[in-house]
Amino acid sequence: MLLKIILLALFFAVMIGVGIYCRRTASDVQGFVLGGRNVGSWLTAFAFGTSYFSAVIFVGYAGQFGWKYGLAATWIGIGNALIGSLLAWRLLGRRTRLMTQHLQSATMPDFFGKRFFSNSLKVAASVIVFIFLIPYTASLYNGLSRLFSMAFSVDYVWCVLGMAILTGIYVLVGGYMATAVNDFIQGMIMLVGICAVIASVLSGNGGFSTALESLSRIPSETAPALNGAFVSFLGPQPLYLLGVVLLTSLGTWGLPQMVGKFYAIRNEAAIHKGTFISTFFAIIVAGGCYFLGGFGRLYGQSIEYTAAGTPVYDSIVPSMLASLPDLMIGVVIILVLSASMSTLSSLVLTSGSTLTLDIIDPALAKARKGVRMTDRKQLLCIRLLVVFFIVVSSVLAIIQAKSSVTFIAQLMGISWGALAGAFLAPFLYGLYWKRTSQASVWASFITGVVVMCCCMYCTFTGKTFISPYFTSPINAGVLAMLLGLVVVPAVSFFSKMNRKEEVDSMFSCYDSTVRVRAAEALADETVED
């Protein structure tokens, strides 16, 4: 117990110390929200990766999908690395940095407002972010509750409060740069920790070959005729597995807290390095988490079950870790705490800046006949809203723990589906296609939100949404994304393109020459990375 407490105290001290050290970079709005657009490759790549993977992945998704699909769940981690990281950096990184700097945009809703000449679009996007990031934020706490109860016998409420206070301190003091530096430290912990945990769990089951053999003898309820279903190449339910891969990989392209990392990157060299660093990080962390979860069936006798006899998925990974040595349990606690706090800090910073810059400041300016908030007042407002989001998400997490909504994946699937379904298509087309119309963006917003709200309604009322396949929030989220990718070009072809000359001017930011076209390399090559 003393060792665990020492590790936690050291971790907390480092996080707060980084926040204090970075306070000078958070003296204005650009510095607080974007780090002055001067963040290097390692910090950006780790900030992207640690915002991507949290306790939701390590405890909720790894346990649930490892139980359902066995070792085939590792494909989810591979998809996260190749689609969610490598392809996202290649297709979005450079163009996002160039276009948002040209538009002087600091948030995704602001991008929609300026790119499509509509303040209403900006407000609508901000409302969607506000509504759907809060349940996502609340879901982050759940993964910690069982681990802390296992290791310290600490009540869930104290766990939530401790995490919320610590995250609030270093975000409020140091802003984006403190978040990025802490993400780097937390990312290194995650890389080392997941490798150590996998080795320990496999060792406790007689080694890899023995664990694999034991897993191969367990029959599948969904594919009883498939021998060794949980060690097979695609698992017992390939179509359902594909849905998880698509939502957790392609879905990141439409999440504002993920795309926002590209706004702040320093230069072309940082994009090149960051692409490979982020992909490597995802392979190790995401691939490792799902690979570990694939052995969850070996602990079927020790996990919790509902009254109906179905597994409590959030209990699977903690049950796997309960028999580890004290030192390894301490490492796991720090690992999951790192994963959760990095994502939490990114979410609250995104929410606070979006609400301030895209709703409150424009509304006040309209009421005061064009007089906007000063930079200092904007900064104060963002910090107050960061506190507000932390408090609200903490309260929701505590209420959720006492209610029937207990699965991490349920809330995260709904949030990811709504955000990605609404934003992915118009953001991607808006970066690449001049013809993307304002009407098509509205259509995508409506489609994504309506699909996920219908799915959520059916989930809580016990009704079937479209078909049994789409009843899952995961698959409904994939449907919302794919519909958006079809709806945006379809509506754009039949609607008017707004202000063609101004759109041409926007896209000219890709054509200014440095050593090559700006779409291939940023202009500030002389800045050392």
Mean pLDDT, to the nearest integer, of 70-93? 92
Mean pLDDT, to the nearest integer, of 321-343? 73
Average pLDDT score over the chain: 81
Range of the domain at 437: 2-510
Identify the band that residue 516 occupies on the pLDDT scale cut at 50, 70 and 90: low
Number of domains in the chain: 1
Rounded-to-integer distance, Cα 65 and Cα 229, Å: 14
Rounded-to-integer distance, Cα 106 and Cα 442, Å: 21
DSSP code string of 515-528: SSBTTTS-S-TTS-
DSSP code string of 440-470: HHHHHHHHHHHHHHHHHHHHHHT---SSGGG
Q: Count the Cβ atoms, other than its own, within 10 Å of residue 376.
A: 11
| Model pLDDT for residues 105-127, shown as the tens digit of each residue | 878 888 999 999 988 898 899 88
What CATH number is associated with residue 191?
A: 1.20.1730.10
Quote the pLDDT of residue 524. Answer: 57
Query: CB–CB of 68/327 below 8 Å?
Result: no
Quote the pLDDT of residue 76. Answer: 94
Quote the pLDDT of residue 526. Answer: 47
**Would you say residue 521 lies in a domain?**
no
Identify the band that residue 200 occupies on the pLDDT scale cut at 50, 70 and 90: confident
| Model pLDDT for residues 47-81, shown as the tens digit of each residue | 787 777 776 777 778 888 999 999 999 999 999 99
**Would you say residue 460 lies in a domain?**
yes
**Would you say residue 242 lies in a domain?**
yes
Mean pLDDT, to the nearest integer, of 229-258? 88
Quote the pLDDT of residue 37. Answer: 64
What is the residue whose two structure tokens read 């649930």?
64
pLDDT exceeds 70 at position 360: yes
Residue type, 440: S
Rounded-to-integer distance, Cα 345 and Cα 35, Å: 14
**Would you say residue 505 lies in a domain?**
yes
Across 104-127, b (16+ Cβ under 10 Å) vs e yields ebbbbbbbbbbbbebeebbbbbbb
Least confident of 82-96, 111-125, 221-235: 221-235
Please tell me the number of Cα atoms within 13 Å of 334 on its side-chain side: 32
pLDDT exceeds 70 at position 512: no
**Would you say residue 322 lies in a domain?**
yes
Identify the band that residue 210 occupies on the pLDDT scale cut at 50, 70 and 90: very high
pLDDT exceeds 70 at position 485: yes
**Would you say residue 230 lies in a domain?**
yes
Quote the pLDDT of residue 387. Answer: 86
pTM over 0.75: yes
**Would you say residue 503 lies in a domain?**
yes
**Would you say residue 524 lies in a domain?**
no
Mean pLDDT, to the nearest integer, of 188-209? 85
| Model pLDDT for residues 369-410, shown as the tens digit of each residue | 766 777 788 888 888 888 888 888 777 777 766 665 555 446
pLDDT exceeds 50 at position 527: no
